Structure 1
Amino acid sequence: MKKLLTVIVPAYNMEAYIENNLDSLCQEDVLEELEVILVDDGSTDRTGKLADIYQSKYPNTIKAIHKQNGGHGSGINAGVKHASGLYLKVVDADDWVDQKGVRNLIDYLRIADSDVVITGFYWAYDDGSGNEQNFRRKAEIKQPFKGVIYKKRYEFDEVADKIYVKMHGLTIRTEILKKNHIVIDENCFYVDTEFVLYPVPYIKTISFLEDFVYLYRIGRNDQSINPDRMMRYYDNYSKVLKALLNFYKQCYEGEISCSREKRLYIAGVIARVVAGNIKILLAGPQGNDSKYNLKAFDDMLREDYPEIYLSNKSWPVMILRMSKYSLYSIASKILLMKNRRS
C-alpha cells in the first residue's frame, strides 16, 4: 500500500526528545498510511540506537537512516530522497505532533486535491518538567487569514497576499520537491525558509485545515532561535539570506517561471528574513562600522531588490529607515533589553 504521508524527522543528538516525537506520530490507526523517516545526522548520543529500536518496533512505518553529520538541511534533503508518501511534512526531533490533529490531517489527505495543505501549530513552552502534555501552548497564528474557508481548494495566487506559511504548518506534495529537485543548504542553520520558499513557483493550489497539528518546543537554551546563538551563527543566517536573494532574482528575471503574485509573496517572506538579519546585527557589538555596514546592506536592498525592500513590516527596520539610521543606537538598546527579557 502506498503511503499517504511521509514525515521526515531530522535528528542530531536528540536522545532526550526523540521518543516523545515518535510516540506522538506512531498511532495504531494511522500506521498503515504513515511513513516516518528518521534521519540520524551523525549523532554521538543514543539517537541512532533509539531510531533502530523504533524501526524494529514499527518496521512498516519507520525508516532509520544513519549518515555523517551535515546539518539540519542535510537531514531534510536525505529524507526527501527516501520519501515515498504522496505528501510530505517535516517534524523536528525535539518537537512533536498533536495526535488528534495528525489523524485529522491524514483523513483529509485521503481526499485532498491540493499541492499544499496548511495546518496550525502551537508554541509549546518547555517548563523543564519533561511532561510535554502539560506545557503551556500558544497559537502563533489563530487562523491563516480572515475569512478563510477551511478545506476549500484555493489557487495559491488567489491568497498569496494574505498568507505567511511556516515550515511547521506545511504539508506538501512530495512530487513537487522531487520533480523540481528542491534542495536546501547543508551544514547550515536557518534553512527552514529555503524549504518553504523554493517550491512556491511550482505550487498551484493550497488548502487549509482548522486543526493544530504541530507542537514547536520553545525554551531550549541551545535552540537556533536563541538570541545569543543567533549572533554566534550569524554567518549561517547571512548565507541563507544570500541564497534567498539569489532565488528571488531567478524568479524576477524569469530563470525560474513564477507568477507576479508568487514573486511578491516570496519578496514578503524574504523581507522578514531581512528584518531578522537587521535585528541580529542591532543586537551585536556596536560601533561605526556596524552601523555603516548595516546601512550599506539596506541601501543595496533598496537599489537591487525594491520589492523586498518595500515589503518590510518590521518596526525596528522602519525606525532605522525613517531616521536615516540616526536612531541606530536607540534601536539597538531596545532590542538588547527585549532579548534579555525573553
Structure 2
Amino acid sequence: MNENVLSKVLTIVVPAYNAEKYLKDNLDSFCIPELLSDFEVLVIDDGSTDHSANIAEEYVKRYPDTFKLITKKNGGHGSGINTGILNAAGKYFKVVDADDWVEKEPFMRLIQVLKNSDSDIIASGFYWVYDEGQKNKMEFTRKLEMKMPFAGVDYNKEYIFDEIADRVYIKMHHITIKTAILKEHKIKIDEHCYYVDAEYITYPIPYVETIRFVDAFVYMYRLGRQGQSVSIEKMQLNEKNYDKVIESLLTFYDRLEDEVICSEAKKKYIAGIIARIVAGKMKIMLSYPAINSRKLSMIDFDKYLRKNYPAIYYGNINIALSILRRTNYLLYGIASMLVRHKYS
C-alpha cells in the first residue's frame, strides 16, 4: 500500500450483525462535519436478518464519500474484520463494534494525532459503559478502563514498542494501527468464532516498531446488554470458541520460533496476552459446579502449558489462578463456589 496516495487518514470498520437497535448510535457518532473528509466508515453487514443494512444505507446516501456498506454472508465478528482489512483504504485502521460508539471531542483529537503521526500503533483510552436500559445513553454509568497506559507516559512522544512492552497491554478498543501492517502481513483472524479480539491484538505485534499514546478516551464500550458474549453464561455456551482461539494463539506463538521474526520483548508481550486468555478459560471452567473431572481437566491443561509454554504459564497475572497453582488446586472447590457466586 502506498501511503502517499491515500486520501483518508483512517478506516473505521463496523462489523454489524442484527445490530439495528444500536447501529444508529454508532454511525451518528462519526457524523462530525469538519472531519468527514478525513476518514471512511466501512459497515460490514454480516448476513443480518434485521434492518441493519437499511440503516447503514441511509448514511451511505447522506455521506457517500465517508460511509460504505459491504454485505456478505454470515461469518462472525472475525469475518467482518477480515473483510474490513481487505477493503480498507485509510492509512490507519480501527474497529468499532456496532453496539459501541466514539465520543466527539476525543475522536477529533485522535484524528488530529493520526494526521501528524507515522507511528505503527496509536493507542487511546476507552470507557466501560453500562447499558441498563436507559433511553438516553448519556445516563449510562461509565467506568474508565484505565486512567493511563503506564505511569509517567508522555502523550507527545513516539515510543519504541520493545522499550515499553513490559509496561503496557493494548486492548482491542485502545488500538488504531497502520493498515499497511495488516495488509502486507496478511493478518487474518478466525471466522465463525467468538473472542477473536485476542487474535486481532496479537497477530500484528511482531511487525510493530513504534507506538504513540493519545490522552483521549475515544471509545465507548457498551456492557450489560442481554446476550452479550462476555457474560459468563455466553462464555460457558461458547467455551469451544474460547478453546479454538487459544489453540490458534498457541499455534501462532509456535511460529515465532521459526517462521515469524519477533524480538524477545515482543515475544514476552505476546505470551502475556495469551496468559490472560488462558486465565479467562480457567474462569469458565471454574464457573461450573465443582466436580473432580473438571478439576483434573484444569490441572492437566495447566501441566501442558507449564511443560510446553513456560513463558505463557509464568506470564499469568491472575491472582486467583496463582493461588490455585500454589495450593496444588486444593482450593478448587472454594474457587469454583466464589466464581459461581460472583456471576449468579
TM bracket, shorter-chain basis: over 0.9
Q: CA deviation at 1:323?
A: 1.0
Q: CA deviation at 1:51?
A: 1.2
User: How many residue pairs get matched?
Assistant: 339
- Determine if the alignment matches structure 1 residue 288 to structure 2 residue 301: no
Instruction: Quote the Cα distance in structure 1 between the aligned partners of 2:202 and 2:136.
Output: 34
Choose which of 314, 317, 333 in structure 1 pairs with 2:337.
333
Choose which of 150, 154, 157 in structure 2 pairs with 1:149.
154
Counterpart of 2:77 in structure 1: which amino acid? H
Identity %: 50
Q: CA deviation at 1:156?
A: 0.3
Unaligned runs of 5+ in 2: 1-5
Q: CA deviation at 1:315?
A: 1.5
Q: Is this contact kept in 1: 2:132–2:225, CA < 8 A? A: no
Instruction: Quote the Cα distance in structure 1 between the aligned partners of 2:226 and 2:298.
Output: 28
Specify the alignment match of 1:165 in structure 2: 170
Unaligned runs of 5+ in 1: none
Instruction: Quote the Cα distance in structure 1 between the aligned partners of 2:135 and 2:63.
Output: 25
Specify the alignment match of 1:321 in structure 2: 325
Q: CA deviation at 1:336?
A: 0.7
| Stretch of structure 1 that moved more, 256-265 or 131-140 | 131-140
Task: Kindly provide the CA deviation profile for residues 283-339 of structure 1, in whole angstroms up to 9, marking residues without a partner as x.
Answer: 024322111111000000000000000011111211110111111111100111111
Choose which of 133, 136, 142 in structure 2 pairs with 1:131.
136
Task: Kindly provide the CA deviation profile for residues 173-215 of structure 1, in whole angstroms up to 9, marking residues without a partner as x.
Answer: 0000000000000000000010011000000000001100000
Q: Is this contact kept in 1: 2:12–2:42, CA < 8 A? A: yes
After TM superposition, the score normalised by the length of structure 2 is 0.97
Residue 128 of structure 2 aligns to a residue in which SS? strand
Choose which of 209, 229, 235 in structure 2 pairs with 1:204.
209
Counterpart of 2:105 in structure 1: which amino acid? K
Q: CA deviation at 1:54?
A: 1.2
- Determine if the alignment matches structure 1 residue 248 to structure 2 residue 243: no
After TM superposition, the score normalised by the length of structure 1 is 0.98
Specify the alignment match of 2:3 in structure 1: none
Specify the alignment match of 1:194 in structure 2: 199
Specify the alignment match of 1:272 in structure 2: 276
Q: CA deviation at 1:151?
A: 2.4
Which structure 1 residue ranges, 4+ long, deviate > 2 Å from structure 2?
A: none
Specify the alignment match of 2:304 in structure 1: 300
Instruction: Quote the Cα distance in structure 2 between the aligned partners of 1:140 and 1:256.
Output: 32
Alignment RMSD, CA only?
A: 0.8
Q: CA deviation at 1:127?
A: 2.2
Residue 43 of structure 2 aligns to a residue in which SS? strand
Residue 29 of structure 2 aligns to a residue in which SS? helix
Counterpart of 1:276 in structure 2: which amino acid? G
Specify the alignment match of 2:79 in structure 1: 74
Residue 173 of structure 2 aligns to a residue in which SS? helix
- Determine if the alignment matches structure 1 residue 42 to structure 2 residue 53: no
Residue 317 of structure 2 aligns to a residue in which SS? coil
Task: Kindly provide the CA deviation profile for residues 93-117 of structure 1, in whole angstroms up to 9, marking residues without a partner as x.
Answer: 0000011111110011111120000
Specify the alignment match of 2:267 in structure 1: 263
Residue 32 of structure 1 aligns to a residue in which SS? coil
Residue 330 of structure 1 aligns to a residue in which SS? helix
Q: Is this contact kept in 1: 2:290–2:337, CA < 8 A? A: no
Instruction: Quote the Cα distance in structure 2 between the aligned partners of 1:316 and 1:248.
Output: 25
